[in-house]
Amino acid sequence: MSAALSNLRRSINSLLDSTSDTNTSLLADSKGLAIDVRTTLLTELAPGDTALALSLLFNAERGVIQFLKITRGSKAHDDAKAVLLETVADYAAKHPREIREFAVEIKVRASRPFLVKSSILELLGFLSRHYSQCADDKQRLQLQRFYMQTLESLFNVRGKEPDAPLIAGAIRGLDHYMFTIEGDNKIVAKDMALIFKALKHVIQPAEDLTRYALPIAGLQMIIDHAKLLQPLLYSDYRTVYSYLREMSSHKNRDLHKVGFAAVDAFLKQIAAILLEEQEGKAELNCFWYFMKNFSDSLRNTDSSVRDISLAIRGYGLFAGPCKKFLNATEVHQIMNILLTRSTFLFSEANENQEETAGHIAAFIEAFAYICRQLDVQDDAFMSGIEQIVGAMLVNFTKIGRALRHASVVAFVRLLYALYANGGARFQAFWSKLAFDAIVLTCTDALLEAERTEGEEGDLPDHAYQEYITFWENLFDQSSLASEPDVDKFFIAVYDIIISAILQVPDRLDLKTVDTGGEAAGSDPQGSVVVGVPPSGDVTNLKASNAKDFAIFINFVEFCSGFLTKVRSGDFKRWVRITGERWIDASTRLPLVSGFYKLLATCFEICEREKYFEGLGGGGEAPATAPSLEQSTYILFRKYIKEVVVRMQNYKDDLLASCLRLVLAAPQELLVVSEMVEPLKLALKMGLSYPPLALIALDAMDKITMRFTLEELEEACRDVLPTFMDYLLVEDGGLDL
């Protein structure tokens, strides 16, 4: 029996033992034991363990069905039973055939009439939302009555508690149904009042709450339909806000997450009402109630990070009402408080950085709202948000993937807010931050620190492998779906990134030193070398600055991933500039292989985007070609010729990088006679380095598509014999 099966048997036996009155320690942890069963069953078993696992799980005397029988009517094990039933459902979905023989027994133990009715009510709502054309008005009204009758049972049942799962199913179904409310299909005021009354009831905090489906359903309805519920939410904003705040700080993770989103949806609608309505006493009272609430959270030194996050988020959402109800001096005072509290939380003085990082998306989005509504973008403000965004970037590899995405979305909205308010602040802010972010992306120091602290886990080899998601998600247009000029904005963001990319090599010390031979002379540190040393031997060359070289190596890999995958069509505007800069750097530092790799990436994009379409043949560019493409064509042709000559002195990675560059050239830049030697050399090296062989094959495909058989005849005669060595390689000898 495998270790996983042994663990499964041990957990199930302990679970059954927990039902004994004498085992009080196990009783207290029956939920934990059920979670152990779930973890082993769903994540640790090998494919061949399924049959034995099922026999243990559904053993008539010592299985989970027996546990459900024994604990029937016992509330002490409710959490464990819920986990087990979810586990069985998930396992059944993965192994439907194998679990069929146990289906009847599972049904007998698991099904209850009100659970079935709950699921039906939810399903009907789902169908009314997604297949509304299949129901007429009479059927929709009938469904609505079902929901209202179920909600009324919350208040009409005397002597016993209403069935929480049934109410939760009705609210989830009604949530779906309310998406169909438009035009003449409305919910009357009486029913809306009942819905609101029910929502307040189910989201009301309770100390003895052990199941969370009902409050989560209510909170989700507020998230989905806050606009529809807007007048009712405003009518009792104090009560609703107090409930939502408690839910957002609940210890249950799912409830906290949904509660936080519900607070957000609620505050947006309250802010919208305050903006729309005339400035009256009720509106002022509402405004100052929230201002005091937010202010107290910020000023109270005992406030949790979650409370501070809610307050700052609240100030952000209320930026519009602040502009309406406050004067410039008052707005400035609020901004000072916000920045002081925020920058402290993300400074080294705050010892609770880990918890703070979990709220960073909310902070950034709050400042995005402020930027959109208020003209407060002075130097102090920009410095403050720069520090917060910097903290997000530094902690990016440490936070969960969902939070990473939320943080990037919030950051994009912040950038857009700056862009929409005028280009100068946006340009200065993003130019500096883009450069810093690229350097951080290419620096492994933070990753090494995590390894030193023992957080090995699934850490990648290099930081850029984690940060690439940041750069990709920057251009997720869904985060700005309803905004004007989005295309122009993303072009501006991209252009600044490319400008920053071009700056990075210039800021690094990429010189090499000769540590051996005559060039070193009497200097034990070696002498600086920029070209091939007099001896012709490059094996003694070392990086002058190892840290800068490590950053540059990662930078080259990052550029390869980013430039080829993210808006590569926009790179066409930058081909000439980047080509010129990297060719110049390659000429100054010919022994740095990274520049050949960067230019190879540039060539690959030119090929894919058909940058040189209409030019070609390998000769001079035709006079009719557009001037930019024509001059770029001439520049690249000259450089390729230089590299073909230059690489005769190189070997190993330097030679492979030059070969990749020459062979990656767009087909319009190719000349058959110039490709023969690089192809032969690449195929020869490809025997020990297969990726180079693949590059050579791709180059041959381009050549055969570009030139006639007559033009290729002599080249084929020279190149094809090189494949003989590949035919002699045993099966599995090359990992292509």
The full set of domain ranges for the chain reads: 3-110, 511-544, 572-736
Q: How high is the pLDDT of residue 620?
A: 54
Residue 635's pLDDT band, with cuts at 50, 70 and 90, is very high
Instruction: Please tell me which residue, 13 or 584, carries the higher pLDDT value.
Output: 584
Which stretch of DSSP H or E encloses residue 24?
helix 24-28
Residue 601's pLDDT band, with cuts at 50, 70 and 90, is very high
Which residues are CB-neighbours of 622 under 8 A, at least 6 positions away? 614, 615, 630
The helix/strand/coil state of 349 is coil
In this model, does residue 624 exceed pLDDT 80? Answer: no
Q: How high is the pLDDT of residue 91?
A: 79
Which residues are CB-neighbours of 100 under 8 A, at least 6 positions away? none
Which residues are CB-neighbours of 493 under 8 A, at least 6 positions away? 415, 430, 474, 475
Q: How high is the pLDDT of residue 637?
A: 93
Do 276 and 236 contact (CB within 8 A), yes or no?
A: no
In this model, does residue 466 exceed pLDDT 70? Answer: yes
Which of 134-138, 314-318, 328-332, 589-593 has the least mean pLDDT? 134-138
Summarised one tens digit per residue, pLDDT across range 254-291 is 898 899 999 999 999 999 999 987 778 899 999 999 99
* Most confident listed range (394-403, 410-419, 683-692, 711-720): 410-419
Summarised one tens digit per residue, pLDDT across range 44-103 is 888 788 888 888 888 878 888 888 778 776 777 878 888 888 888 787 778 777 777 776
Q: How high is the pLDDT of residue 193?
A: 95
Q: Residue 450's closest CA among 440, 441, 460?
A: 460
* Most confident listed range (22-36, 183-197, 655-669, 710-724): 655-669
In this model, does residue 449 exceed pLDDT 60? Answer: yes
Residue 518's pLDDT band, with cuts at 50, 70 and 90, is low
Which residues are CB-neighbours of 478 under 8 A, at least 6 positions away? none
Classify residue 19 by its DSSP letter.
T
What does the alpha-carbon distance between residue 175 and residue 19 come to, in Å, rounded to a whole number?
39
In this model, does residue 681 exceed pLDDT 60? Answer: yes
Reported residue count of the chain is 736
Six-digit token pair at 706? 């570009």
| Neighbour order of strands in the sheet with 541-543 | 527-529, 512-514, 541-543
In this model, does residue 515 exceed pLDDT 80? Answer: no
- Burial classification of residue 351, based on how many CB atoms lie within 10 Å of its CB (0-12 exposed, 13-18 middle, 19 or more buried): exposed
Instruction: Please tell me which residue, 229 or 532, carries the higher pLDDT value.
Output: 229
Six-digit token pair at 105? 């027994």
Q: How large is the average pLDDT for residues 109-135?
A: 77
Neighbours of 537 (CB within 10 A): 14
Classify residue 60 by its DSSP letter.
T
Which of 115-124, 319-328, 403-412, 596-605 has the least mean pLDDT? 115-124
Summarised one tens digit per residue, pLDDT across range 169-179 is 999 999 999 99
Q: How large is the average pLDDT for residues 413-428?
A: 89
In this model, does residue 239 exceed pLDDT 90? Answer: yes
Q: How high is the pLDDT of residue 56?
A: 85
Give the largest Cα separation in the chain, rounded: 100
Residue 505's pLDDT band, with cuts at 50, 70 and 90, is very high
Residue 530's pLDDT band, with cuts at 50, 70 and 90, is low
Q: Where are the alpha helices (DSSP H) in 518-574?
A: 546-565
What are the φ and ψ backbone dihedral angles of 354, each rounded to 5 degrees?
Answer: -60, -45
What does the alpha-carbon distance between residue 610 and residue 607 come to, in Å, rounded to a whole number?
5
**Percentage, residues of the chain above pLDDT 90:** 38
Q: How large is the average pLDDT for residues 97-126?
A: 72
Residue 28's pLDDT band, with cuts at 50, 70 and 90, is low
In this model, does residue 528 exceed pLDDT 50? Answer: yes
Q: Residue 211's closest CA among 164, 172, 253, 175?
A: 164
Q: How high is the pLDDT of residue 2?
A: 78
Q: How high is the pLDDT of residue 168?
A: 92
Mean pLDDT of the chain, nearest integer: 85
Q: How high is the pLDDT of residue 494?
A: 97
Do 473 and 405 contact (CB within 8 A), yes or no?
A: yes
Q: How high is the pLDDT of residue 519?
A: 47
**Percentage, residues of the chain above pLDDT 70:** 88
Which of 433-437, 478-482, 503-507 has the least mean pLDDT? 478-482
Angle, alpha carbons 511-530-539 (nearest 5°):
85
Q: Give the chain's radius of gyration (CA, Å).
A: 33
